[in-house]
Structure 1
Amino acid sequence: MEKFDVLIIGGGPIGIACAIEAQKKNLKYTIIEKGCIVNSLYNYPEGMSFFSTSEKLEIDGIPFISKNAKPLKAEALEYYRRIVTSRDLRMQLFEKVTEVKRLNPGFEVHTSKGAYLADNIVVAIGFYDLPNLLNVPGEELPKVAHYYNNPHFYARQEVAVVGASNSAVDAALEIYRKGGNVTMIVRGDDIGERVKYWVRPDIINRIAEGSIKAHYNTNITEILEDRIKLRGPEGDFELPNDYVLALTGYQPNFAFLENLGVELSKDALRKPIYNEATMESNQPGVYLAGVVCGGMKTNEWFIENSRVHAGMIAESIALRK
């Protein structure tokens, strides 16, 4: 088995940043990524624009040139792919980590394609793989999706969009504009305050004029083939329905962290415990980077404010060599 100073799990922007910093410190590294380069970004909706400006998405000061003030998904994919190829970063793609064994010292990492030895591990897995489920009867039906890509599919369909965050609002507006009949199901009493400031007035106005229907303080209680059952302030009711987009957010892979022995906070946020100066967890040699550090508070860490994790981690590992 090949041995590395550091094995980075996750090939998103922060995983890439960690590889660049390891490269600078002359550390032997590799990235293990279960999908394509920046796999999570690849699975974002086709027309998505970022909240951040392009310079805040940059890695290692490499300029990110965008045609728009808020870069599009396609531009971000091109940017990060070019970094990987131009820096000749070592990355194992479409290879999933299946098991991590603690050795003394180091780790033995098994994947879907092989096995590796590593003195240190960086967990930069993000949070986009595990959706927050509705946990209602019928959620397993084919008509239910927790990810959204393109509005064309939903034209002339009765579509329930569950949620009131950026992803839910973007989907509702795009589907409405492609001819879908959209109803938003919102657990709270308003559209989320963190919705992109240039989009929030649009959705509020579409709801006010009746182009998009919205039911606040309402939850789905059951999903059926041709309708959904709901419970709101005035009691139980039903709506005709062809598709349900449950865009209720996502969460980190806590089971993976716990299998590594990473301690999580005892409250509902389940934040992993780590040294804020080095990003090393309570498990020696296991480092955390990016959004995974926030636990259930997935809006705490972004590309723009967690890029610094990469340098902190590389410095800590280099000092031990």
Structure 2
Amino acid sequence: MELMIIGGGPIGIACGLEAHKAGISYLILEKGPIVNSLYNYPANMQFFSSSERLEIDGIPFISKEAKPKRDEALEYYRRIVTSNQLNINLFEKVTSVRREGEGFTVETDKARYHPGNVVIATGFYDLPNRLGVPGEDLPKVSHYYKDPHYYACRKVAVVGASNSAVDAALECWRKGAEVTMVVRGPEIGQRVKYWVRPDIINRIEEGSIRAFYNSTVTEIREGDIRLQTPEGPRVLPNDFVLALTGYRPNFDFLEAAGISLSEDEKRLPAYNPESMETNVPGLYLAGVICGGMETHKWFIENSREHARLIIADLLRKKQADPTQKPTR
């Protein structure tokens, strides 16, 4: 096999499509269902991008509205996989990648592979940024939000002020939850979807949703949460906590594969932007994983080009060394 693609999200699928067109043998490994990260998005989520910006390989994405919703995206990417009969193993989690000889050894929870090259396109949605406070592991705390019905008629604290936090706060409130937002900064995030930000600000100003700005959670208990606010400590009755404070790439996985990361807080991985090849020969990055902690820098629309760059580099290498043989 010439190429192993780790991650079956939109960018991993795009890499598979490019490899298929180029006649490069490949396998995509996805630890969950097709586009696992999108599957775990909130049920009613609407994308910031319009449908044409989510397209891959020029395949039209037709949606009811200009900005598609989660279910439409799931259908779009699923049809691409099935219609093109992409070579993909689902529900197979990669545990390690290491360079050995002229290729790699990739181990999963089910098998061991020896591809000639590897693309890591795993995104960043799997590891939440934890609050690091007592009680964070209580059953009532979640770092992911799915559906507002579960929280109806309950006291819900939403920690964060990004798109996911704002969507959760508004949807839960509209289903009858008593919602309190805990925001570390002085305002709702500036990158919140432009058609949603005025809505949450108005709900806060009218008192429908309570917000504590410049505040942090200091402890979570069974029946309440404790905050540190500009006015001092506060204790609020509470049934559920949605800690939607963002997510980060799996840096341990990248470093174990030999990829160099910057030593500052950005943790940027080393790669050549013209080929997407890292400091490890034959090991490539694609998609939002390239941004380190700057998870807002890369999206489907501006990283789908990574697939073309990677396959073009592999073809250049094959032309430079026609005797090169793929490993098994």
Q: TM-score higher than 0.5 here?
A: yes
- 1:34 and 2:31 equivalent? yes
Please name the residue that 2:165 is paired with: 168
Which of residues 98, 101, 105 is equivalent to 1:108? 105
Q: Please, what TM-score do these two structures have when normalized by structure 2?
A: 0.96
How far apart, in 2, do the equivalents of 1:14 and 1:256 lie?
19
How far apart, in 1, do the equivalents of 2:303 and 2:97 lie?
25
How far apart, in 1, do the equivalents of 2:80 and 2:244 lie?
31
How far apart, in 1, do the equivalents of 2:105 and 2:292 lie?
25
User: Shift of residue 100 of structure 1?
Assistant: 2.0
User: Shift of residue 113 of structure 1?
Assistant: 1.2
How far apart, in 2, do the equivalents of 1:149 and 1:169 lie?
13
Give a deviation string over 1:241-296, Cα, whole Å, max 9, x none: 00000000000000000001100011100010100100000111110000000000
Cα RMSD between the aligned structures? 0.5
Please name the residue that 2:46 is paired with: 49
- 1:275 and 2:275 equivalent? no
Give a deviation string over 1:123-164, Cα, whole Å, max 9, x none: 000000000000000001000000000000001100000000
**Structure 2: unaligned runs, 5 residues or longer:** 319-328
- 1:228 and 2:225 equivalent? yes
User: Shift of residue 171 of structure 1?
Assistant: 0.2
Matched residue type, 1:185 = V
Q: Which runs of structure 2 are paired with 1:111-122 in the superposition (5 Å)?
A: 111-122=108-119
User: Shift of residue 69 of structure 1?
Assistant: 1.1
How far apart, in 1, do the equivalents of 2:268 and 2:44 lie?
32
Please name the residue that 1:91 is paired with: 88
Please name the residue that 1:137 is paired with: 134
**Structure 1: unaligned runs, 5 residues or longer:** none
How far apart, in 1, do the equivalents of 2:127 and 2:98 lie?
23
- 1:180 and 2:160 equivalent? no
User: Shift of residue 6 of structure 1?
Assistant: 0.6
Q: Which runs of structure 2 are paired with 1:188-227 in the superposition (5 Å)?
A: 188-227=185-224
- 1:318 and 2:320 equivalent? no
How far apart, in 1, do the equivalents of 2:66 and 2:55 lie?
14
Matched residue type, 1:319 = R
How far apart, in 2, do the equivalents of 1:204 and 1:97 lie?
42
1:118 aligns to what SS in structure 2?
coil
Matched residue type, 1:218 = S
How far apart, in 1, do the equivalents of 2:110 and 2:263 lie?
35
User: Shift of residue 98 of structure 1?
Assistant: 1.4
Q: Please, what TM-score do these two structures have when normalized by structure 1?
A: 0.98
User: Shift of residue 25 of structure 1?
Assistant: 1.1
User: Shift of residue 101 of structure 1?
Assistant: 2.9
Q: Which runs of structure 2 are paired with 1:289-308 in the superposition (5 Å)?
A: 289-308=286-305
How far apart, in 2, do the equivalents of 1:302 and 1:190 lie?
24
What is the aligned-residue identity percentage?
66
User: Shift of residue 218 of structure 1?
Assistant: 0.3
How far apart, in 1, do the equivalents of 2:98 and 2:52 lie?
39
Please name the residue that 1:25 is paired with: 22
